[in-house]
């Protein structure tokens, strides 16, 4: 029987393991799946912590329902009944600028009325229609793209906060076509973003008239989705459905190639054999594992940086807050000089996140533009967060509940040259078809991206299994 070893029991590793088992069963292929995890629990960055009636997400808090793969996974696992769509409040998102919260415009009229962007900035945005398509094929940063097509004000007040909210990243270093490939393609195919939106809106109208169900022309959209007991219900559900073994407390330190496959050396002194090996751990972790097997691959993987992050959960008695909390939360442009990147009003987004009569706020601090925040003491993190909440939301009260989670390697950064780096990694492993890499360091950081990449990785594993039979 062929043994497939998957290193890492986060969403990517668990989904790959489950997909391999499901596909192998359909193809009537015999396979033994073993998942190794260095921690004493599964889930990776996904961890839903319940304490004192509050439900705090240690990492990501959900996924968008605009792509089918994660919802299809839930259906397969039999947990669709536990799926929880965010409250309509989640549509209301804000940017803190010039000492006030501005709701992000959802249409042309609200954009014209909004005070977030000045009138010169609005005219510059409209001037995007006159900007020629970029011919140079070299990798462009998000900041370069923003200044070129939309202007400096739109970059600072719209693009940069969005980049910090999604990637905890710096637009001056992040790659446009790796971070937002759809936006890159829209310019290439239609010559500009406004032109693309007009053409897509016409297409949508025509398809709607023809009775077709279509997505929004304005962007990916989607509703933020989680579970009754937090996003960890997904990884717990996958683990429960696996037929193969999951071994926690099993950190892989070295991988050596053998005649029949690979020999894995574990930190606890154990050695395990694998016929097919899948790594679903962060880039820096797999770089260490593969040092002896492929120094070139390790070198390339170490070029993928990670942003740090402090996640700060504050719980309050609702009566202590005067703010309406009617919305998803807000992001903060760097120019505002605040300590935090933004705050999510978690108890307004999903039910069951705070006890009756209380609310839960979750603030992010750090990221690529403030890496030193990870070194702050607990008291410093708390005090600086409270300072910003007072300035932005008028909160004078001491929080009744405080939990701070630290991530030294929070989110991989798709910096300039990321796509070329991935091609080089693929080339460096060309003679290792039975060694596969997956995870959020490569083709998308979102939960949907990880599930999609894991499914594709599983199909490659099945192809290798067929070659052996």
Domain limits, the chain: 2-45+231-304+414-468, 51-57+63-90+305-412, 117-209
- pLDDT per position as a tens digit, 16-67: 999 999 999 999 999 999 999 999 999 999 999 999 999 999 999 999 998 8
> d(Cα 71, Cα 154) in Å, to the nearest integer?
34
- b/e sequence 422-447, b meaning 16+ C-beta within 10 Å: bebbeebbeebebbbbbbbbbbbbbb
CATH superfamily for 117-209 is protoporphyrinogen ix oxidase, domain 3 (1.10.3110.10)
Tokens of 372: 């030193």
Strands (E), 67-161: 83-85, 93-97, 100-103
Helix residue spans in 333-441 (DSSP H): 346-349, 378-393, 418-428
Give the Cα-Cα-Cα angle 391, 110, 60 (nearest 5 degrees): 55
Which helix (H) or strand (E) covers residue 307, if one does? strand 306-317
DSSP letter for 269, please: S
* Residue 75: other Cβ atoms inside 10 A: 12
Please report, for residues 60, 317, 359, 382, the alpha-carbon distance to residue 401 in angstroms, rounded to integers and kept in the order given: 20, 9, 10, 11
- pLDDT per position as a tens digit, 107-135: 878 888 899 999 999 999 999 999 999 98
Of 64-68, 302-306, 373-377, 460-464, the range with the lowest mean pLDDT is 64-68
**What would be the CATH architecture of the domain defined by 2-45+231-304+414-468?**
3-Layer(bba) Sandwich (3.50)
Domain 51-57+63-90+305-412 class in CATH: alpha beta
Question: In the prediction, which pLDDT does 218 show?
Answer: 36
Question: In the prediction, which pLDDT does 20 show?
Answer: 98
Average pLDDT of the residues in 317-344: 96
Tokens of 307: 């942003």
Percent of the chain surpassing pLDDT 90: 88
pLDDT at residue 182 above 80? yes
Point out which residues pair with 97 in neighbouring strands. 100
Average pLDDT of the chain, as a whole number: 94
- pLDDT per position as a tens digit, 187-212: 999 999 989 988 888 877 776 676 65
Question: In the prediction, which pLDDT does 208 show?
Answer: 67
């Amino acid at each position: 029987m062929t043994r497939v070893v998957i290193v890492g029991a986060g969403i990517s590793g668990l989904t790959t393991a489950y997909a391999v088992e499901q596909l192998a069963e359909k193809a009537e292929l015999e396979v033994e799946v073993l998942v190794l995890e260095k921690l004493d629990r599964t889930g990776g960055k996904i961890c839903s912590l319940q304490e004192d009636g509050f439900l705090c997400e240690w990492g990501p808090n959900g996924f968008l329902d605009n792509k089918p793969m994660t919802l299809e996974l839930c259906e397969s696992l039999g947990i669709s009944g536990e799926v929880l769509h965010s409250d309509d409040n989640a549509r209301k998102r804000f940017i803190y600028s010039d000492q006030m919260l501005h709701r992000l415009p959802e249409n042309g009229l609200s954009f014209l009325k909004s005070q977030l962007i000045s009138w010169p900035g609005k005219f510059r945005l409209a001037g995007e229609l006159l900007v020629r398509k970029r011919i140079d094929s070299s990798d462009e940063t998000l900041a370069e793209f923003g200044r070129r097509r939309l202007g400096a004000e739109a970059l600072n007040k719209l693009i940069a906060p969005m980049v910090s909210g999604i990637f905890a990243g710096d637009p001056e270093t992040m790659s446009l076509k790796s971070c937002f490939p759809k936006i890159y393609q829209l310019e290439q195919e239609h010559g500009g973003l406004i032109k693309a939106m007009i053409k897509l809106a016409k297409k949508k109208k025509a398809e709607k008239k023809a009775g077709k169900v279509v997505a929004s022309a304005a962007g990916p959209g989607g509703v933020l989705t989680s579970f009754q007991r937090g996003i960890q219900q997904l990884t717990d559900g996958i683990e429960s459905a696996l037929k193969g073994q999951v071994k926690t407390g099993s950190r892989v330190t070295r991988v050596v190639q053998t005649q029949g496959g690979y020999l894995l050396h574990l930190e606890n002194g154990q050695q395990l054999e694998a016929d097919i090996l899948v790594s679903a751990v962060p880039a820096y972790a797999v770089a260490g594992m593969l040092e002896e097997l492929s120094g070139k691959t390790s070198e390339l993987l170490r070029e993928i940086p990670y942003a740090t992050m402090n996640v700060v959960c504050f719980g309050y008695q609702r009566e202590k807050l005067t703010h309406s909390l009617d919305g998803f939360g807000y992001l903060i442009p760097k120019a505002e000089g605040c300590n935090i990147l933004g705050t999510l009003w978690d108890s307004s987004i999903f039910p069951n996140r705070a006890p009756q009569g209380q609310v839960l706020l979750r603030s992010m601090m750090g990221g690529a533009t403030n890496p030193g925040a990870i070194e702050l003491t607990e008291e410093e993190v708390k005090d600086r967060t409270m300072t910003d909440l007072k300035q932005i939301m008028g909160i004078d009260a001491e929080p009744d509940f405080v939990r701070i989670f630290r991530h030294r390697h929070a989110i991989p950064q798709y910096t300039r040259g990321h796509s070329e780096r991935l091609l080089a990694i693929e080339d460096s492993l060309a003679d290792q078809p039975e060694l596969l890499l997956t995870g959020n360091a490569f083709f998308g950081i979102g939960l949907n991206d990880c599930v999609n990449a894991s499914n594709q990785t599983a199909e490659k594993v099945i192809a290798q299994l067929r070659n052996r039979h």
